[in-house]
């Protein structure tokens, strides 16, 4: 994995300054070393993501089967909800979830727009969404509906930890600052998910995501993953 070409040129210019060929050679070596370090960090994170996702999918097979069964029994139809989300660098990908709403819920959304409780207006959230099924309320509270995204991690669309992937229409209304969320792979969990989930307004979610991006490391990822367990069990901000 290489750093962006424009960033590389800028670094070369800053480091070399007006020095001679020796300075330029030294600068090129430094940038190359940085690229190798960035690439190594990416490979380590990818390895952790892949191993973690595969292990969790195997361990959670019984939960997957039970969840799929109760979803179908309450509201016969597809047990999975697949929709486009925006990932790293604006790339769209199929996003997997267990279906927590009635069939045709997307077509009813426009009728509920005026009830949107998100103060920022970018995302759509209603605490008592009438489209959510009884089973849906339970699997949402404990984030069971998010588990199929482990497949997204295996595919390389997502990471275990990172900013949540947004809908294309949400990204269309992003400011330039908010688009910085697209500089990294989106994640199943992240900073604001362990700090209050949907109780945090959109601007607060963006701030926490950008703070994560600026200080991301394997250590921080592990801390967020460990904090995810009590956050999910507590059910705070899940709607």
pTM: 0.79
- Residue 155 has a pLDDT of 96
Q: Residues near 148 by Cβ (< 8 Å), separated by ≥ 6?
A: 64, 80, 96, 97, 98
Q: What is the pLDDT of residues 195-225, one digit of tens each?
A: 877 778 888 888 999 999 988 888 899 999 9
Q: Tell me which residue of 59, 101, 108, 61 sits closest to 80, measured CA to CA.
A: 101
- Residue 2 has a pLDDT of 42
Please give the angle made by the CA atoms of 131, 135 and 137, to the nearest 5 degrees: 60
Distances (CA, A) of 69 to 55, 111, 198: 22, 30, 27
Task: State in Å, rounded, how far the first CA of the chain is from the last one.
Answer: 37
* Contact (CB, 8 A) for 53 and 152: no
pLDDT under 50 in the chain at which residues?
A: 1-3
Radius of gyration of the chain from Cα atoms?
Answer: 21
- Residue 16 has a pLDDT of 52
- Residue 112 has a pLDDT of 79
- Residue 40 has a pLDDT of 76
């Amino acid at each position: 994995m290489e750093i962006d070409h424009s960033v590389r040129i800028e670094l070369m210019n800053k480091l070399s300054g007006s020095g001679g060929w020796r300075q330029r050679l030294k600068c090129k070596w430094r940038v190359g070393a940085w690229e190798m370090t960035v690439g190594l960090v990416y490979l380590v994170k990818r390895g952790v993501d892949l191993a973690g996702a595969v292990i969790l999918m195997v361990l959670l097979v019984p939960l997957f089967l039970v969840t799929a069964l109760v979803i179908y029994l309450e509201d016969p139809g597809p047990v999975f909800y697949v929709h486009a989300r925006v990932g790293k660098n604006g790339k769209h990908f199929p996003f997997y979830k267990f279906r927590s709403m009635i069939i045709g819920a997307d077509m009813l959304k426009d009728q509920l727009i005026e009830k949107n409780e998100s103060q920022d207006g970018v995302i759509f959230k209603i605490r008592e969404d009438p489209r959510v099924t009884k089973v849906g309320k339970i699997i949402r509270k404990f984030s069971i509906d998010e588990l199929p995204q482990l497949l997204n991690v295996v595919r390389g669309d997502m990471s275990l930890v990172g900013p949540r992937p947004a809908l294309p229409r949400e990204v269309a209304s992003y400011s330039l600052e908010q688009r910085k969320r697209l500089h990294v792979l989106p994640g199943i969990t992240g900073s604001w998910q362990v700090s209050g989930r949907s109780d945090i307004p959109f601007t607060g979610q963006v701030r926490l995501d950008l703070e994560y991006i600026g200080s991301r490391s394997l250590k921080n990822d592990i801390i967020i993953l460990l904090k995810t367990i009590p956050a999910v069990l507590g059910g705070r901000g899940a709607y």
